[in-house]
Structure formats: structure tokens, C-alpha cells
Amino acid sequence: MHPFKNRGAATCAIVTSTACLSLASTALGNLPGDSTLDSRVDVADLLVVLSNMYHTCPADGEACPTDFNHNGQTDIDDLLTVFENWGRVAVDASSSNDAPDADSTTLVGPAPVLIDAIYYDKYSRVQERAEKGLQLDQGWRTRGYNTKHSIDVLPYCYGGGVDQNADNHYSDQDLERFEAWLDANIPYEYDGPVVLDMEGDWWPMMNNANQELMDEIMDFYIEGLEYAEEMRPNAKFGYWGFPKKRWTKLSHDGPDVTRLMKRSAAIFPETYEYNPGGDDSVRIQQHIETCIEMVEGKVPVYVQMCSRYQDQEIGGWRHFLSNEELIRDQARPSLDARWTDADGNTHRIAGLGIWDAYIYVRGFHHDWWSLNDDEITKLWDEVDEIHLSMYQDLNALINGELSESETTVATNDASKSDASTGNSSRVTHRSPRKPIRPVVINETSRKKGASKRVRSSAPKRSAVARK
């Protein structure tokens, strides 16, 4: 007999036996079978799992919400997890009688601010990219709007942060290059946030690290913070994407990373989208609240949103979210996130901004090198208009000018539309509202090429992490 057919019959029996049961509940953010992250297990989760059946997960488990048993693939065991938890709902533990009374808490700190975290090509280390971005005034609409409305640029040190070669060593050449980047971009008296973007080999290693290896990795990251702080003692340095979403799950039983979070002068958790169309707001709010709790409200939290979502079929961040989904799933839950300490002080985020990169436009157009400046400008302008529209709505949200009804996600929204054709419809005003279609930068699939490793002959300043 066919094993899949036998197990399928068993799962059908599970549905029949559980569908009429009263809804069981579990802790928020810790609900097996909830692939849509909407705090319940139902037919939506079943459809998502079936559509991803036997798909191999990307390297980062965050991009695989249907792999409940973390074996690297969506399979029959994950399908059974849905059926076994059919009808269950998650509850917010903070709503219990043990939670502090709202009247006894005090909201501390300034109101959250918007920041511009977009990776314009003018920030690139590649001279040709930087010069072309400046020559064609890339992103002029969004940059102009943000400047006019006092939305400051969030400085990013790409390519490894202090470890400029991203080779898991700090060499004299790394430190000299980092110091040159600071001199070119960060005034000595600057006291705002600075993102160190150091991923490379460390990023996937952390997903499966034990405490010993995690401590070694954190030591390396902290060494980078110490050097940066010596050069700019007032700046608030921290690393992009920390803490990872996997570390803020209530079910997380891996190594403790709070030492690095508390040692940072700012943290920059991401809320990137891997579940287009699904309502991720509950999970994202819990993620950000846990981030604030990890640093005990003493380290500012700057949320890094993304205007795109990842294509689950062919890969790549090739699609744009609608404004409504960006606000519902990333912005509003981040702004609503609260954590109350033992003294009754309630903490929230310090700011949030959109990250996107114009390099995607080049990567998803196989004919890029044959395009003239006018054609490139047209492609960039389409992306710029999307960014502008998003920042207009986010600014209205921050200022209390955008109601929840104005950002309701239309149920008949298409999941994709084509931005590269110039036919995408974007709303740059807020009244009256109409559905905004997500946009796709299509053409050819972007392939990840192996980047060339640059090894310095200068003496190394720290131990190599265990490989």
C-alpha cells in the first residue's frame, strides 16, 4: 500500500475528530502548525503547507515557516503537525491577571521616529555603482521628501562593518578602511545610531551554534563594537538583524545571546516578509516586544522593515509589498510593541525605517549592461515612487494621521504585479484610498555568485572563530 495514501487517510481522520472540539489555546508565538502566523491553526495553514510540500528550505530557517520540525524540508510530518493542532488558537500571556495594571505604568522615552535606511548606490564601495547613482540622482523623490520632513538617514557600514573584508578576522587593513569610512560618513560628535552590517560566514553558523560557539562569535562581534566606539564614542553602534527572529520565539531553547544585545549601543532587528498575503502582525509584535525585553528597555531599538518580500518559488527579493501590508505586518505592530519593567515603566521602539537596495534592479534585469541612462533612470524612478509612497504613509502613521481602516489590506489584492513595465499603479496621496498592488521586479532570476574572498597579509587581531 502507498504510505502517503495511508498517512493521508490518518490525517483526514484527525481533521474529522478535532474540527468539532472546543478551541484549545497555547502561548502567543509558540503554536505548532501555525504557518501563517495568525495565532490559529486552520485551513489557511493547511493550504500553505500543501503548496510548499517537499520544498527544501533556504539556509535561514526564518524563510521556511512550514518546516515545523526543522528538518530542512516541508514534508508529511509538517502536514501532520497542522492536523494534530487543528483548531488551536494562541493567547497573549500578557493579558493575564498577572500583567501590570495599565494605569500603574509609565510610558518612557521619546516617541518613535522614522529613519531612511534605503541602500542607495551612492553608498556603495564600488566606484562605478556610486558614480552612476550620483550621476542619475537615484532616489531623488524619496530623499527629497525625507529631508523635507526631517527623516534622517540611518548610516550603514556594509560589507562586514569593522571586519571590512568579512573574513572573520580584524586585520590592520580592515581597521584602516573602517576608520576611513567613519571619517567620510560619521562626524566625530555624532550621537545617533550606526548599523554594522556583518553577516558572511557568521550568519548561518549562528543558526546551529551551541553556547560555546555562540560565545566565541559574540566575543568577535563585541570586539568590533569596542573598536568602533573608540573611534566614535558618542555613536550608537549595533549589528543589523540582531536579535534574529528565531531567538525571540517563545519556544527558543538555543544559546543565550542577550550578552551581545545588552552590550550593543543600539539594536536593529528586522521584520522582513516571508509570508506574503498572510497576517504576520501578531508574531512581529511579539518579536519586537521580546527584543525590547532582551535589552530591558535600556538599549534603543530601531526596527528594520523591508519593502519587498521573498519569492518562495524562484527565490530573490523580487516583489514589492503593498503599502497596506507593509503597515499591517511590519510598521503598526512594531509601533504597538510594548514591554513593561518591574518598576512599571513601559518601553517601546526608538524608530523604524525601510531597507531596500537598488542593486536588486540590476540583478533582476539580464539586459542591464545594454541599457542606456534614460532606461536605467526609468527603472530607478519606478522604485523611487514606491519608496516615496511608503514613506508618505509611514509618516502619516507616525503622526497619527493614518487610521487603521485606511491601511486595511484589500482581500482581492493580487499578490504580484510588474514594476519593470512601468504600468504599476501607486498611490502618492492618502485620500481617497484605493488598493495598491504589490509590484514585482521580474526578468531573470538573480543567482547568488560566490563572492571573492580578500585576505589581508597584515597581522590578525583576534582569534579565528571555529569553523
Same domain? 295 vs 372: yes
Same domain? 11 vs 33: yes
Return the percentage of the chain with pLDDT > 90, whole number: 54
Are 417 and 424 in contact, with CB atoms under 8 Å apart?
yes
Residue 279: HSE in the Cβ half-sphere, 13 Å Cα cutoff: 13
Same domain? 85 vs 117: no
Same domain? 317 vs 362: yes
**Is 415 within a domain?**
no
> What's this model's pTM, rounded to 2 decimal places?
0.72
Among 383, 407, 431, give the residue marking a domain's end: 407
Range of the domain at 244: 106-407
Each residue's pLDDT tens digit, 314-356: 778 889 999 999 999 999 999 999 999 999 999 999 999 999 9
- pLDDT of 86 reads 79
Same domain? 152 vs 16: no
Region 170-181 average pLDDT: 94
- pLDDT of 201 reads 84
**Cell representation of residue 164:** 571590512
**Is 429 within a domain?**
no
**Is 196 within a domain?**
yes
Residue 301 has pLDDT above 80, yes or no: yes
Same domain? 166 vs 42: no
**Is 35 within a domain?**
yes
Same domain? 208 vs 71: no
Q: How far apart are CA 74 and CA 218, in angstroms?
A: 31
H/E stretch holding 346: strand 345-347
Are 290 and 267 in contact, with CB atoms under 8 Å apart?
no
Are 410 and 324 in contact, with CB atoms under 8 Å apart?
yes
Are 65 and 279 in contact, with CB atoms under 8 Å apart?
no
CATH for 22: 1.10.1330.10
Same domain? 172 vs 76: no
- pLDDT of 376 reads 97
- pLDDT of 279 reads 93
In terms of C-beta density within 10 A (0-12 exposed, 13-18 middle, 19 or more buried), how is residue 443 classed? Answer: middle
Q: How far apart are CA 80 and CA 11, in angstroms?
A: 6
Each residue's pLDDT tens digit, 408-421: 665 444 344 344 33
Residue 464 has pLDDT above 70, yes or no: no
CATH for 373: 3.20.20
Residues with Cβ within 8 Å of residue 88, at least 6 apart in sequence? 23, 24, 25, 26, 31, 33, 40, 41
Average pLDDT, the chain: 80
**Is 455 within a domain?**
no
Number of domains in the chain: 2
**Is 431 within a domain?**
no
Residues with Cβ within 8 Å of residue 429, at least 6 apart in sequence? 392
Same domain? 29 vs 134: no
User: E strands of 5-66, at which residues?
Assistant: 25-27
Q: In what order do the strands lie in the sheet with 236-239?
A: 156-157, 193-196, 236-239
Same domain? 224 vs 116: yes
**Is 446 within a domain?**
no
Higher pLDDT among residues 86 and 114, named by residue = 114
| The most confident of 45-54, 268-277, 343-352, by mean pLDDT | 343-352
Same domain? 84 vs 111: no
Q: Which residues of 390-425 are buried (b: 16+ CB within 10 A; e: fewer)?
A: bbbbbbbbbeeebeeebbebeeebeebbebbeeebe
Q: How far apart are CA 4 and CA 130, in angstroms?
A: 54
Same domain? 77 vs 134: no
**Is 349 within a domain?**
yes
